[in-house]
Amino acid sequence: MAEVPISQGQYLVSLARQAIEGYLANGKKVSPSRSGGALLEKRGVFVTLETYPKHELRGCIGYPLPIKELALATVDCALSAAFDDPRFPPVEKCELGRLVIEVSVLSVPEEIKVKKPEEYLKKIKVGRDGLIIHYGYSSGLLLPQVPIEWNWNEEEFLCQVCEKAGLPRNMWQSPSAKISSFGAQIFSEKTPGGSAEQKKLIR
């Protein structure tokens, strides 16, 4: 899957902010003003809100799978991250000047095939992969930037994605667990409402 041009990634970040501002102003969902290229392709995407300058999580919601055109999906995820993340109260207008917005455009997740669970430790890489675990009716996802921010190694990353799914930390070692990996292009505001840049993950 082709990369998203930086100019379109920057637009997605501004679109996410416009979506939140527009909904706070009039309760309506904005329509993307630009189209073409990757913006019209179906892509997985997550929108993350963080406080500034402390960069504490304030909301994060996304579509893991490419089920909707990227620009439209970004609007949906921005609104969900701001107003529907069950971990946080809805964002208020007075907060917007103290939040930075990050948009992660995902590659299609692929299941990691292993003969024994220990092989996961060599097949995943912090700074390159995001992870999804499925076990029974439980699932959890962590974006590629998360283990870097928390300084996790590969084993801790696996344990944490289990916790995200509400599972015991060692459930990744179960033969019944299915673990998939994905990549992401990450575009983020430097300051609230400021210019966006493409983040470089540490590999």
- For the chain, the structural domain boundaries read 6-107+183-198, 110-182
Reported as a single tens digit per residue, the pLDDT across 20-46 is: 999 999 999 999 999 899 999 999 999
Q: What's the average model confidence in pLDDT over 113-141?
A: 97
Q: What's the average model confidence in pLDDT over 110-120?
A: 97
- For the chain, percent of residues with pLDDT exceeding 90: 96
Q: What is the chain's mean pLDDT, rounded? A: 96
Give CA 108 to chain center in angstroms: 13
Residue 8 has which token pair?
Answer: 């379109």
Q: Give pLDDT, residue 1.
A: 67
The answer to whether residue 100 scores a pLDDT higher than 60 is: yes
pLDDT band at 203 (very low <50, low <70, confident <90, very high): very low
Beta pairing, strands 57-63 & 110-111: unpaired
Q: Give pLDDT, residue 200.
A: 73
**DSSP-H helix ranges across 27-153:** 70-83, 120-123, 145-150
Domain 6-107+183-198 indexed as CATH 1.10.10.410: no
For 118, the 3-state DSSP assignment is helix
The CA distance from 94 to 126, in Å, is 36
Nearest Cα residue to 126 out of 160, 90, 169: 160
| Cα R_g (the chain), whole angstroms | 17
Nearest Cα residue to 88 out of 55, 54, 52, 49: 49
Q: What is the DSSP letter of 79?
A: H
Q: What's the average model confidence in pLDDT over 105-116?
A: 97
The answer to whether residue 149 scores a pLDDT higher than 80 is: yes
The CA distance from 170 to 160, in Å, is 9
Reported as a single tens digit per residue, the pLDDT across 164-196 is: 999 999 999 999 999 999 999 999 999 999 999
Reported as a single tens digit per residue, the pLDDT across 37-81 is: 999 999 999 999 999 999 999 999 999 999 999 999 999 999 999
- Global pTM value: 0.95
Q: Give pLDDT, residue 180.
A: 98
Architecture of the structural domain at 110-182: 2-Layer Sandwich (3.30)
